[in-house]
Structure 1
Amino acid sequence: MTSAAAKNLSRVFGNISDFEKGFLLASRGVIRCLINPLLSQMELTEHTTKPVDLFDSACGTAVFTQEVQDTLPKAVLGKSTMLCADSSEQMISIVKKRIDGEAWINVKTSVMDAKNTGLPENSFSHVGIGLALHLIPGPDAVLTDCKRILKPGGLFGATTFHKENTFWIPDMRAAFASFPFDAHFPDEVKMQMHSDGDWTDPAWIEDHLRSEGFSDVQVKLNSGIYHLRDADEYVTTFGAMIGWFMNTWWSEETRKAHPLEEVQKLLKSHLEEKYEGKGWDINYLVICMTGKVEK
């Protein structure tokens, strides 16, 4: 992150809740590593000279837009248009604060359903979807909408997790096993949350995008290592997963007996002891897919 970006980010922190700070730290930390490789695949680089009309669909905290803002030349951004949309008003609220606090250029927001945006046809040169198609039920409806709103020759791009992605799982599994009570952790944590296709398999994705009418389809597997600064960063970055695990796998009785705050403290204590108060590396495996729309 540049010094200017860091200064802008500090302004955002003064205007958001602790809950929102967790999402923002993840956006500027490990999550950007999972989104950034998509940019060059979508021909969005520091050498880009032509203005873009970009749609960040199912944007979350708008990490895709964040990376585009950090990458494209200012002169290009000044002539471009960008729209960030998500079905969550809370996420859009965070993005609005980011736009102002981080001085993003020509970025607007809207609350929209990625499967039915209602946006005009042939509106965008680029549509990006970061880490969502393996989570949204009925993802083909998202693809249909993307094709509709892309201009002829427009580029679609998305990222999903590979089925063998480990990421935060080994550390959380070991921590749960160390708790002084039965903290259930499933034998397998699936990367995909629905049964529509297999968005964790590069070969399947390539075939499927072609069958959906995309041309010049490229599907690449990106592996990497992210260094966590300390236990605090782990708990802050992956805090949302703790609550999800508790709600999904634990009984109501267990959740009442051991609330989220207690679990977070136990997790942090385990990690601090395991890594002796130092940082450590985690591995990730993410799929980047792109395709062109011919009309």
Structure 2
Amino acid sequence: MLVEQVRSLHSYKAISTRRCSKYGWENTATAVVDAQNSGFPDKSFSHVTLNFAMHIIPDPQAVLRDTMRIPKPGGTLAFSVWHKDSQGWGPDLRSCFKALPFDAPMPDRVPMKFQIRSLPHIIPVYTAEDYLESYAMMKSWMVYTYWSEESKEKARGMLDGHILKHLREKYNGQGWDLSSTIVLATCQKPL
């Protein structure tokens, strides 16, 4: 399990690095750290973002303390979370899990902790592979949080293939849109 979690962390860093390149963000670095205690020096960044993670972090107050410590004076902090009523990636992952030939639970409501300002958000999914890569973290979170050891063992080596096959059949090999509501919070550190 630890090896898979480490592999996932490297995957998240690779995804972030690709996004920086794709959107032309210059002088940008990515890192995978403990958001509750990043270890970054005080006042070391002009911008700090945390995207779609605050709702699953055990101590969000620790995250806020740490993220307010590391921007430079006048720096910007932004984070986003899914709205508590958002559907997004959930229905597709739920239908993939239900189609498995063993117990693969997922909660009816995914835990959400914040609601500041909500906005509608459409995310295009181009292929089943795109979905699997984009939501690998959510898949891992559901599996490791809600599945029994027996179900995890049964899924070993076959879950990704199952998800790809299920979504290709569900969407006739076409892309689809995920409709979500996001919560976006931004602030600027005082000078």
Fold match by TM threshold 0.5:
yes
* Greater radius of gyration (CA): 1
Separation in 2 of the partners of 1:254 and 1:145?
36
Q: How many residue pairs are counted as aligned between the two chains? A: 185
Matching residue of 2:103: 182
Is this contact kept in 2: 1:23–1:237, CA < 8 A? no
Deviations 1:45-76 (A, max 9, x none): xxxxxxxxxxxxxxxx3588x289626xxxxx
Find the counterpart in structure 2 of residue 230 from structure 1: 127
TM-score (ref. length: structure 1): 0.52
1:115 pairs with 12, 22, 37, which one?
37
Could you tell me how far apart the structure 2 residues matched to 1:226 and 1:184 are? 25
Confirm or deny: 8 A CA contact 1:63 1:130 kept in the other structure: no
Partner Cα distance (1:136, 1:184) in 2: 20
Gap regions ≥5 residues in structure 1: 1-17, 28-60, 72-76, 89-112, 192-197, 203-219
Give the superposition deviation at 1:169. 0.8
State the SS of the aligned residue for 2:54. Answer: coil
Pick from 63, 73, 76: which aligns with 1:155? 76
Seen in structure 2, the aligned counterparts of structure 1 residues 249 and 279 have a Cα distance that, compared at 3 Å, is same
Q: Secondary structure at the match of 1:134?
A: helix
Match of 2:155 in 1: 259
2:24 match: 70
Root-mean-square deviation (Å): 3.3
1:172 corresponding residue in structure 2: 93
1:249 aligns with 2:146: yes
Deviation at 1:170, TM superposition (A): 0.5
Distance 1:24 1:125 in 2: 20
Inter-partner Cα distance in structure 2 for 1:144 and 1:162:
22
Looking at structure 2, the residues matched to 183 and 260 of structure 1 have their Cα atoms a distance apart, in angstroms, of 12
5+ long unaligned stretches in structure 2: 1-6
**Structure with greater contact order relative to length (CA < 8 Å, sep ≥ 6):** 2
Q: Report whether the alignment pairs 1:86 with 2:32.
A: yes
- Name the SS of the counterpart of 2:177 in structure 1: strand
- Counterpart of 2:60 (choices 120, 139, 142) is 139
